[in-house]
Amino acid sequence: MIIHVDNVNVSSLSGPNTFARRLAQQLMCMGHKVIVGDGTDADVSLVFIEPTGQPLARRVVQRIDGIWFSPNEFYAKNCAIKALYDRADHIIFQSNFDKTLITKWWNEPVNSSVINNGTNILLAAIIHPTLIKIRNHFDKVFVCSSNWHGQKRLCDNIKMFKHLRNFYDNSCLIIMGNNAPNIIEPNRIFCTGHVKHEVYMQVYAMSDWMIHLEWLGHCPNVVIEALSQNTPVICSNVGGVKELIGNYGLVLNEEQQYNYELVDYENPPMIDVTQVTYLPDRDQLSKNMIADINIVNVANKYVKVLEATIT
């Protein structure tokens, strides 16, 4: 099968582009031809979010990771996304949360699937000397990671860590990713900024828990990557993250109910971190969902959709 991918920037570190690279590589490993640019001669075009304007194949699948649902962005920023949504042969939603949100405001597509992101399931070896030193010093290591902005709730993540110290005094928090403010508590909270991918994976592998309290999140790659390293996740019950973790983590209840209305997601409500009174033994948590994020299994789901679209 010749698969044309549209709206993918291979040099970008954004979530959609990171996943697109992984998917394209796996599709090629499976014997499919993946092309960019002109999709006229392809069997099918797989468009990430919205089209670039390049020629597409006769059959088109749109992979969508949510829409702009802030009131002042809803119509202008969703224009091109909605135009393709209405004509695509198949829609792939990132999560059931995304599907429910989008279909509340737009029509239910004739053909659609929900396919979460995926990654390689390979445990990283912890070889960075600083990480080895941290692991040997602390009883519990917590991690949070993102391209930080208001929706990601960094301050609430830090509040959660400080609350957890009531139960695990000898613990630390590692904050990774771009745009994090310089919040450092000597010998307790470490901000790394953006680091190489292999370092991210080592940190996930050596951490006991990820704290990810993002509000209305879709299907974050950082959560996928943490799960791939057997790191359980603390998350909100609003958004798509709870779907990813299954029973492998803890889900906090939001005080304010969300009914899929248009909201300013950059100003999320506070979340009550004191809901957590203990952390379960991670060895007792179910890892049944780990296979679902294996990029091999994810790519097979995409192939099934793409082949059905062209037949």
**Tokens describing residue 289:** 């969902």
| Phi and psi, residue 281, nearest 5° | -65, 120
pLDDT digits (tens, 9 = 90+) for 133-165: 999 999 999 999 999 999 999 999 999 999 999
Mean pLDDT along residues 226-233: 97
Contact 214, 151 (CB under 8 A): yes
- Measured at the CA of 302, the angle between CA 298 and CA 308, to 5 degrees, comes to 145
- Residue 17 is predicted with a pLDDT of 83
CA distances from 25 to 14, 20, 28, 181, 240 (A): 17, 9, 5, 34, 25
Which letter does DSSP use for residue 285 in this model? S
Residue identified by tokens 């949070």 is 144
Gap between the terminal Cα atoms of the chain? 11
Mean pLDDT along residues 24-39: 96
pLDDT digits (tens, 9 = 90+) for 61-93: 999 988 999 999 999 999 999 999 999 999 999
Q: What is the overall mean pLDDT for the chain?
A: 94
Contact 217, 151 (CB under 8 A): yes
Distance CA 236, CA 256 (A): 12
Provide the 10 A C-beta neighbour count for residue 155. 13
> Residue 124's closest CA among 219, 194, 204, 48?
204
Higher pLDDT, residue 283 or 240: 240
Residue 280 above 80 pLDDT?
yes
Mean pLDDT along residues 20-46: 96
Higher pLDDT, residue 63 or 13: 63
Mean pLDDT along residues 26-45: 97
- Residue 183 is predicted with a pLDDT of 64
Contacts of 228 (CB under 8 A, 6+ apart): 119, 120, 121, 122, 201, 204, 290, 293
- Residue 12 is predicted with a pLDDT of 67
Q: Is 263 exposed, middle or buried (0-12, 13-18, 19+ CB in 10 A)?
A: middle
Q: Which domains does the chain have, with CATH numbers?
A: 2-118+295-310 (3.40.50.2000), 129-293 (3.40.50.2000)
For the chain, list the strands marked E by DSSP: 2-6, 33-35, 44-48, 60-64, 90-93, 112-114, 140-145, 171-176, 189-193, 209-212, 233-236, 249-252
0.75 surpassed by pTM:
yes
pLDDT digits (tens, 9 = 90+) for 193-224: 999 999 999 999 999 999 999 999 999 999 99
> Which of 14-18, 47-51, 76-80 is predicted with the least confidence, judged by mean pLDDT?
14-18
Residue 279 above 70 pLDDT?
yes
Distance CA 18, CA 13 (A): 6
Mean pLDDT along residues 6-33: 88
Residue 274 above 80 pLDDT?
yes
CA distances from 293 to 93, 142, 214, 221, 223 (A): 15, 22, 19, 10, 10
- Residue 180 is predicted with a pLDDT of 80
- Residue 77 is predicted with a pLDDT of 95
Percent of the chain with pLDDT over 70: 97
Mean pLDDT along residues 282-305: 94
DSSP reduced 3-state for 30: coil
- Residue 185 is predicted with a pLDDT of 75
